[in-house]
């Protein structure tokens, strides 16, 4: 009697069954948090423009009083000014799924409105991270050497440049460091091998919750974050991370209000809508957000350029 | 008297034929070589390379301007998308960005500085410099550093990019010496060798500056 072999019961088995699990393709899903070092210029909704000018003013002791002889006229002080323009721009994405694709989706599948909405919320928050990370290489002050790994000496040099440039001390919790993942790894290695481990990398669990998963820890008063969105420099030889204090980066967003039954607003910042094309039995799941970020005070940040 | 046994190599059981289960050897589809795969590169908007008179680095044995990649992404540094009513086309408005860059003394390098633009799009939506060599099926990117440095030198020769002043060389040398003397670096032979080479370049440049 023949054995019942898998190969002989093709009518009773499918070639491949669909697993209830799925594996997410690799990408950096860590959205940078709303850290005190980031200046939020507010919600641009209902302000009559998509762009605003954020003034820089030499105020509050920027110009010191001059010594003037008794009876002499004091020269008028010139007010020093500058500005940063922040413009919000639209970001959108759309997944279209046919009815046949949606209705054959198994339990736990992703082709449903709730999954598309969750995906949209995550994707749009990463767009803001992308904006902020792309500013890191632009500061005039730099530390690090092309083609060499980030070191503690680079961080110490950057901190001094930051203090000199911003004319301020580095208050704990008010300084943000955004490095590429490779740079953050180099920093961890440098700390781990320094002083026989006397210097510790601190990233308590409660801080991870507050600051986001990209948070790598606090060291020398700087909250360090790692992001794959940090760009390359010097034709790919390096990565351009940075440390900065409040004033270096200004960002803004624009709230959106849902109007129709097929729309809803996610946290006020992402408009998610369902767009039905009945004739083709296809549904689009569309989402939009409006974010903008600009470099503010150049000397309030230091780019850290090290090996990629 | 027993004959001494000779030592023999262990025999290997070889199948008399190819595995019966397979029936026949699997054949590779033609054209499925790795070179057909696309590079696994993330989305990257077009960008300008931007220099600044105070930013310098040592690369390939030369002191060269540090060139930042400034993305022309709407929403970043004042970049906006705009609509041309006459042509009906949407375009990237970089006026705000250019103003921001020039205010702080930065030098954006235009794409048409050469006959061939310095950025290319090897995969849809992913822009890299023309010296990048993406690897099919991989996220690894090789860079033609020599080609890049020759291009930077040509920009300097044409007066489009500055050359370092003595103070820049001194600042870089000072930072490199500081790095070299840090205990962590001293314990790292690779870093020590890299930084020593950089310092040699800087000291040579200082002698002739």
**Mind listing the pLDDT tens digit for each residue in B90-128?**
888 998 899 888 888 999 999 999 999 999 998 888 899
Chain A interface includes B91 (CB < 8 A)? no
- How near does any CA of chain A get to the CA of B80, in Å? 7
Residue of B100, B105, B191 with shortest CB distance to A151: B191
Name residues whose C-beta falls within 8 Å of residue A196's C-beta, 6 or more positions apart in sequence.
none
- Is the Cβ pair B74, A130 closer than 8 Å? no
Chain B neighbors of A27, CB-CB under 8 A: 42
pLDDT grade for B1, boundaries at 50, 70 and 90: very low
Pairing of strands A81-87, A51-57: antiparallel
pTM for this prediction: 0.83
b/e burial code for range B24-52 (CB count within 10 A of at least 16 → b): eeeeeeeeeeeeeeebbbeebbebbbbbb
List, for residues A61-90, the tens digit of each pLDDT value: 898 999 999 999 999 999 999 889 899 999
State the burial class of residue B17 (Cβ atoms within 10 Å of its Cβ: 0-12, 13-18, 19+): exposed
The reply to whether A199 touches chain B by the CB within 8 Å rule is: no
- pLDDT, one tens digit per residue, over A27-60 is 777 667 678 899 999 999 999 999 999 999 998 8
Closest-CA residue in chain A for B64? Answer: A234
Partner A contacted by B184 (CB < 8 A): yes
With a CB cutoff of 8 Å and minimum separation 6, the contacts of B184 are: A151, A152, A153, A190, A193, A194, B191
Residues B127-171 have pLDDT tens digits of 999 999 988 888 888 899 999 999 999 999 999 999 999 999 999
A234 close contact with B: CB closer than 8 A: yes
Q: Which residue of A has its CA nearest to B55?
A: A140
Q: Per the structure block, which two tokens stand in for A303?
A: 């780019």
Average pLDDT over residues A239-253: 94
Does pLDDT of A209 surpass 90? no
For tokens 């632009």, the residue is A138
pLDDT computed for residue B148 by the predictor? 94
Residues with Cβ within 8 Å of A65's Cβ and at least 6 positions away in sequence, in order, are none
- Taking the CA of residue B180 and the nearest CA in chain A, the distance in Å comes to 8
Q: How far is A14 from chain B (nearest CA, A)?
A: 20
The whole-angstrom distance between residue A37's C-alpha and the CA centroid of its chain comes to: 13
Strand spans (E) along chain A: 38-43, 51-57, 81-87, 89-98, 142-143, 175-179, 215-219, 222-226, 232-233, 238-244, 249-253, 263-266, 270-277, 282-295, 301-307
Residues of A in contact with B185 (CB under 8 A): 151, 153
Cross-chain Cβ contact B81/A90 below 8 Å? yes
Mark yes or no for CB contact A237/B71 under 8 Å: no
Percent of chain A with pLDDT over 90: 52
Residues of chain A numbered 19-48 and touching chain B (CB < 8 Å): 27
Listed residue (A223, A50, A197, A95) closest to B78, CA to CA:
A50
Q: What is the pLDDT of residue A200?
A: 55
Find residues 4-33 of chain B whose CB sits inside 8 Å of chain A.
Answer: none
**ipTM for the complex shown:** 0.78
Query: In A265-274, which positions are buried (b, 16+ CB within 10 angstroms) versus exposed (e)?
Result: ebeebbbbbb
Q: What is the pLDDT of residue A96?
A: 95
- Measured between CA atoms, the residue of chain B closest to residue A239 is B68
DSSP chain B: -PPPPPP-PPP----SSS-TTTSS---PPTT-SGGGSPB----B--EEEEE-TT-EEEETTEEEE--EEEE--TTBTT-EEEEETTTTEEEEE-HHHHHHHHHTT-EEEPGGGSSS-SEEEEETTEEEETTEEEPBTSS-EEE-HHHHHHHHHHHHHTTSS----HHHHHHHHHHHHHHHHSHHHHT-HHHHHHHHHHHHHHHHHHHH-
The average pLDDT across B178-199 equals 85
Average pLDDT, chain B: 84
Q: Give the pLDDT band (50/70/90) at residue B3.
A: very low
Chain A residue with the nearest C-alpha to that of B59: A146
In degrees, rounded to 5, the angle at the alpha carbon of residue A222 between the alpha carbons of residues A217 and A226 is 50
**Closest C-alpha among A250, A285, A249, A251 to residue A270:** A285
Taking CB atoms and an 8 Å cutoff, what residues of chain B touch A249?
A: none
Question: A69: exposed, middle or buried (C-beta count within 10 Å: 0-12, 13-18, 19+)?
Answer: exposed
pLDDT, position B7: 46
């Amino acid at each position: 009697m023949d054995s019942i072999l898998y190969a002989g019961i093709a009518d009773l088995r499918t070639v491949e069954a669909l697993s209830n699990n799925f594996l997410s393709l690799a990408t950096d899903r860590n959205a940078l948090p709303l850290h005190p070092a980031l200046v939020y210029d507010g919600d641009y909704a209902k302000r009559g423009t998509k762009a605003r000018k954020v003034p820089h003013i030499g105020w509050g002791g920027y110009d010191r009083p001059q010594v003037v002889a008794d009876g002499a006229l004091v020269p008028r002080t010139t007010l020093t000014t500058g500005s940063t323009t922040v413009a919000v721009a639209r970001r959108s994405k759309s997944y279209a799924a046919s009815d046949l694709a949606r209705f054959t989706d198994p339990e736990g599948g992703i082709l449903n409105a709730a999954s598309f909405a969750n995906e949209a919320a995550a994707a749009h928050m990463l767009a803001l991270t992308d904006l902020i990370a792309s500013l890191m290489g632009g500061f005039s002050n730099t530390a690090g050497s092309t083609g060499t790994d980030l070191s503690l000496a680079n961080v110490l040099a950057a901190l001094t440049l930051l203090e000199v440039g911003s004319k301020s001390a580095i208050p704990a919790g008010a300084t943000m460091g955004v490095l590429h993942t490779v740079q953050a790894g180099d920093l961890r290695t440098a700390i781990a091998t320094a002083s026989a481990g006397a210097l510790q990398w601190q990233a308590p669990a409660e801080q991870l919750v507050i600051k986001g998963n990209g948070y790598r820890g606090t060291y020398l008063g700087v909250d360090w974050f790692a992001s794959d969105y940090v760009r390359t420099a010097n034709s790919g030889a390096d990565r351009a991370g940075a440390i900065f204090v409040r004033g270096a980066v200004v960002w803004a967003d624009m709230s959106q209000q849902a109007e129709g039954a097929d729309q809803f607003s996610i946290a006020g910042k992402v408009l998610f809508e369902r767009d039905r094309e009945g004739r083709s039995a296809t549904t689009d799941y569309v989402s939009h957000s409006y974010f903008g970020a600009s470099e503010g005070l150049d000397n309030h940040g230091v780019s850290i350029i090290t090996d990629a | 008297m027993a004959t001494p046994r000779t030592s023999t190599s262990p025999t290997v059981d070889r199948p008399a034929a190819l595995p019966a289960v397979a029936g026949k050897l699997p054949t590779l589809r033609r054209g499925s070589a790795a070179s057909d795969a696309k590079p696994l590169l993330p989305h990257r908007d077009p960008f300008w390379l931007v220099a600044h008179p105070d930013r310098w680095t040592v690369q390939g044995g030369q002191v060269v301007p540090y060139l930042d990649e400034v993305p022309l992404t709407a929403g970043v540094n004042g970049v906006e998308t705009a609509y041309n009513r006459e042509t009906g086309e949407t375009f990237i408005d970089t006026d705000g960005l250019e103003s921001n860059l020039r205010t702080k003394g930065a030098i954006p390098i235009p794409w048409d500085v050469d006959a061939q633009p310095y950025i290319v799009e090897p995969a849809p939506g992913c822009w890299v410099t023309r010296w990048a060599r993406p690897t099919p099926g991989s996220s690894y990117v090789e860079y033609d550093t020599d080609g890049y440095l020759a291009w930077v030198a040509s920009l300097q020769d044409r007066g489009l990019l500055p050359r370092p002043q003595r103070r820049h060389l001194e600042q870089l040398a000072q930072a490199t010496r500081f790095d070299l003397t840090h205990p962590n670096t001293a314990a790292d032979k690779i870093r020590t060798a890299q930084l020593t080479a950089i310092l040699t370049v800087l000291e040579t440049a200082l002698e002739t500056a």
